[in-house]
Every structure is written in structure tokens, then in C-alpha cells.
């Protein structure tokens, strides 16, 4: 009996041991042979560098700037991280929002499992990540710590077609760029935008999930992700910032046209509005043609001030119907030193020129024969009379002699 109990206990212990070898349920851990050990050597000022990465399933991390590297105690100045193999893009960054970063480090076929060394170098165009062709660290690999990668969400129904993004940027932005993800226009800073008076229209895939507007990469907006997908957007980049990144206004309403007539003495008329679609005071320059200027503005503006290059100005113009085309006439009359104005929602009738009655030439009678020749006849008769008188006088003088 004791032997049977001992055998049963042995079998139970063996079964417990076997169960201990079975992995528990939960998030699947990435085995070392399927991971990429990524080393990075960064500038000395980058005290806690981070990694941003993406692959076929989208971004590896939920939020920028990604995950922090771990300093390698065996190799001074080097940091490391284990990441899944197959990633197609990497950015090594300074580790905080708004910090420095490399340009995109890409491999369209995916970075294979193994070990890779990246040295961050500064160039005239910014920081770049240079991949080494041979090992740059010494010693054994750091302890393998699998990266906790969130399971990709089940893709929903893909949006098809394109949408139009109506974009307004500050006047000081000379090279606006449109970046979106998934990346329809390549890596950062994205598509060059040709803006006219700070306004542009861009055709983009309806499936985009996020947007960043920048001025050739810097400065830039915060991430724009809270918008209805698959519909046209109107985005105004504001001059106000948060942690160095520009804020924005977003609407689903179209732009409106404002027509402005200003006094003739205003040589440099400007259009200022809030929220600030054209940057700070005095706003966008206006060009007057035939007495009127016109400008396209976001439908969500709340107030307007027209001014002459920031000097003389109107009172605050807030009593208008939002989102409606309007005609504003600035009066030469002032109140407390500020010009008054009038608003209309239909084009004013052009001033008609007064009708000029044609001059009526007085009727002139045709001259008669007598009118044409009377002075000749009178003059000729007088001459004959004078001649006759002279002859008579001369004849009388001869008789006396």
C-alpha cells in the first residue's frame, strides 16, 4: 500500500512539474530569436533618448516620442532596446515631446531579427541615424527583456476615396508641409504645400488617422487626431503654442469670402481676425483692386479688425453672421479714434455715372447771297465814289489853270 501511495505522489509531482513548464495565458512574449537588439549612440546632450517605430501594422507605440532606451552599462554612451523584427521605420529622438530627433531611418523590407547599431550624427540638415556595418559594442548582449507590444486592433472597414483638407497657416510660414499617417506622402515632413495668402487645398486619402502641419519640419502643430474620418476638413493653424507646438482650429464648414472697402488714405490695409488665421497683429495684407479687396477666411472666425498696417484701425467687428459672405465698408468717420464700418450681405450696387445730356448746337441759318457779298459790294461802291470825287477835283483844278 505504501508503495502505491509513493508512486501516486511521484506521479502528482511530475504532473505539477510538467504544468509549470506550460506558459500561462496572457500577452504573447516575443522570443529572442524573433527580436531585433537595437543599439543607439546619441549626442551627449541626449540624456534619456527614446525610440519611435512603425511597421506594417502601424505605429509600435501609442504616443510620441515612443519608448525610452536603456543605458548599456557595459558600453559607455550606448543605449539599447529589444524590438520586434520586421519594423519598416525608426526615429531616434531626444526622449521628450518637442526635442531633437533623427530623420526617418527606413527599410521597406523590414529590419531583420538580430543586432543593429545606429550612431546619431548631426548634419547641416539636422540629425541622421547611421547604421553600422559591423559591431560597435563589446561584451555579451544585455539581458533580454521582451518589449510589451500592444496587440493590433482588428481593422475596421477601410475608408475609400479622397477628402479635401482646406488649410490656413500663419503668414510667416514660407514652406508649409502636410504630414499624415499612415504616410500617404512619405516620411517627415511630408508633402510640400503651395499656399496662396496662407491658404491651400490638399487632396488626401480618406483613411488618414492623424495629421501634423509644419513649416518645413519646424515649427509644427500638435498631433491632429480628433477629427471625423472620411469627411472634408478645414484646419487653421494658430499662432498660439503649447510646449512649443502650434495649436489649431478645426471645422467641417467651408471658407467664406469677405470683401473690404477702405478709405483711400489707407495705403497698406490689413485684415486681422480671431482665432488668428493669419498670425498676429496686424494680420494679412490686403490688395485693393477697383476700390475693393477680398480675402478667404475660415468660417469659424469670431471677430475682425481692419487696419492700415497696424496704425489706424476699425472698432472690433463682431456683429456679423458667421459663415456668410459679407461686404465690409470702412467709414472715414471715427469714434474714440477708431473707424466705424458698415456690413452688407449682398454686393453693393455699383455707383451709376450721371447721364450727360448732349449739347444742342443752336440752329444756324444758311447765309444769303447778300450776307456773303454785302461787304464786298459796300466796299467796292465806296471805292468807286472816292475815285469819282478825286477825278472831279482834279478836273476842276485844271480849268482854273
The DSSP code sequence of 297-344 is EETT--EEEEEETTSSBBPPB--S-TTS-EEEEEEEEEETTEEEEEEE
Strands (E), 145-208: 162-168, 176-181, 191-192, 199-205
Check residue 291 and give its pLDDT: 87
Q: Which residues pair with 54 in a beta bridge?
A: 59, 89
**Residue 102 and residue 123: Cα distance in Å, rounded?**
10
* Cis omega (within 30 of 0) for bond into 328: no
Helix runs in 149-292, H state only: none
Check residue 158 and give its pLDDT: 55
Q: 176-181 and 210-215: which strand pairing? A: antiparallel
The answer to whether residues 341 and 315 touch, using CB atoms and an 8 Å cutoff, is yes
DSSP category for residue 46: -
Check residue 54 and give its pLDDT: 87
Check residue 17 and give its pLDDT: 46
**Residue 63 and residue 158: Cα distance in Å, rounded?**
23
Q: Which residue has the cell 453693393?
A: 348
> Which of the listed CATH numbers 3.30.160, 2.60.40, 3.30.70, 3.40.1000 matches domain 162-251?
2.60.40
Check residue 152 and give its pLDDT: 47
Return the ∠ at Cα 29 (arms to 26 and 34), rounded to 5°: 155
Q: Which residues pair with 119 in a beta bridge?
A: 41, 130
Check residue 279 and give its pLDDT: 74
Over residues 138-186, the pLDDT tens digits come to 999 999 888 875 554 454 555 678 999 999 899 899 999 999 988 888 8
Neighbours of 69 (CB within 10 A): 21
Q: For the chain, which residues score pLDDT lower than 70? A: 1-31, 149-159, 253, 351-377, 379-380, 396-401
Among residues 98, 105, 139, the alpha carbon closest in space to that of 119 is found at: 105
Check residue 16 and give its pLDDT: 41
Note the pTM of the prediction, 2 decimals: 0.44
**Residue 67 and residue 39: Cα distance in Å, rounded?**
14
Residues of the chain within CATH 2.60.40 domain(s) are: 32-131, 162-251, 255-344
Q: Into which CATH architecture does domain 255-344 fall?
A: Sandwich (2.60)
Rg (CA), the chain: 44
Q: Is 2.60.40 the CATH number for 32-131?
A: yes
Amino acid at each position: 500500500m505504501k508503495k502505491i501511495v509513493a508512486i501516486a505522489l511521484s506521479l502528482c509531482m511530475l504532473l505539477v512539474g510538467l504544468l509549470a513548464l506550460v506558459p500561462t495565458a496572457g500577452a504573447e512574449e516575443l522570443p529572442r530569436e524573433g527580436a531585433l537588439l537595437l543599439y543607439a549612440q546619441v549626442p551627449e546632450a541626449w540624456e534619456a533618448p527614446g525610440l519611435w517605430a512603425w511597421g506594417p501594422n502601424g505605429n509600435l507605440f501609442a504616443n510620441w516620442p515612443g519608448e525610452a532606451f536603456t543605458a548599456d552599462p557595459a558600453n559607455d554612451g550606448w543605449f539599447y532596446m529589444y524590438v520586434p523584427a520586421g519594423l519598416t521605420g525608426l526615429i531616434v529622438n531626444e526622449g521628450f515631446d518637442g526635442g531633437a530627433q533623427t530623420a526617418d531611418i527606413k527599410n521597406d523590407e523590414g529590419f531583420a531579427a538580430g543586432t543593429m547599431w545606429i550612431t546619431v550624427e548631426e548634419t547641416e540638415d539636422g540629425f541622421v541615424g547611421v547604421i553600422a556595418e559591423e559591431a560597435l559594442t563589446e561584451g555579451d548582449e544585455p539581458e533580454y527583456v521582451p518589449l510589451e507590444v500592444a496587440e493590433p486592433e482588428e481593422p475596421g472597414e477601410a475608408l475609400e476615396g479622397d477628402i479635401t483638407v482646406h488649410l490656413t497657416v500663419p503668414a510667416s510660414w514660407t514652406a508649409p508641409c502636410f504630414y499624415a499617417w499612415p504616410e500617404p506622402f512619405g516620411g517627415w515632413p511630408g508633402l510640400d504645400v503651395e499656399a496662396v495668402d496662407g491658404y491651400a487645398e490638399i487632396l488626401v486619402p480618406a483613411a488618414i488617422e492623424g495629421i501634423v502641419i509644419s513649416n518645413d519640419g519646424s515649427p509644427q502643430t500638435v498631433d491632429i487626431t480628433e477629427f471625423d474620418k472620411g469627411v472634408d476638413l478645414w484646419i487653421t493653424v494658430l499662432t498660439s503654442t503649447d510646449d512649443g507646438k502650434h495649436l489649431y482650429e478645426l471645422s467641417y464648414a467651408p471658407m467664406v469670402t469677405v470683401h473690404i472697402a477702405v478709405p483711400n488714405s489707407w495705403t497698406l490695409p490689413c485684415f486681422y481676425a480671431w482665432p488668428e488665421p493669419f498670425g498676429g497683429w496686424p494680420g494679412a495684407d490686403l490688395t485693393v483692386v477697383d476700390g475693393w479687396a477680398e480675402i478667404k477666411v475660415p468660417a469659424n472666425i469670431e471677430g475682425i479688425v481692419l487696419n492700415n498696417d497696424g496704425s489706424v484701425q476699425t472698432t472690433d467687428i463682431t456683429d456679423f453672421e458667421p459663415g456668410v459672405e459679407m461686404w465690409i465698408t470702412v467709414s472715414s468717420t471715427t469714434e474714440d479714434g477708431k473707424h466705424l464700418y458698415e456690413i452688407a450681405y449682398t454686393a453693393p450696387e455699383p455707383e451709376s455715372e450721371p447721364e450727360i445730356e448732349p449739347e444742342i448746337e443752336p440752329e444756324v441759318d444758311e447765309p444769303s447771297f447778300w450776307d456773303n457779298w454785302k461787304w464786298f459790294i459796300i466796299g467796292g461802291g465806296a471805292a468807286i465814289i472816292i475815285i469819282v470825287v478825286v477825278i472831279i477835283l482834279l478836273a476842276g483844278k485844271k480849268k482854273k489853270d
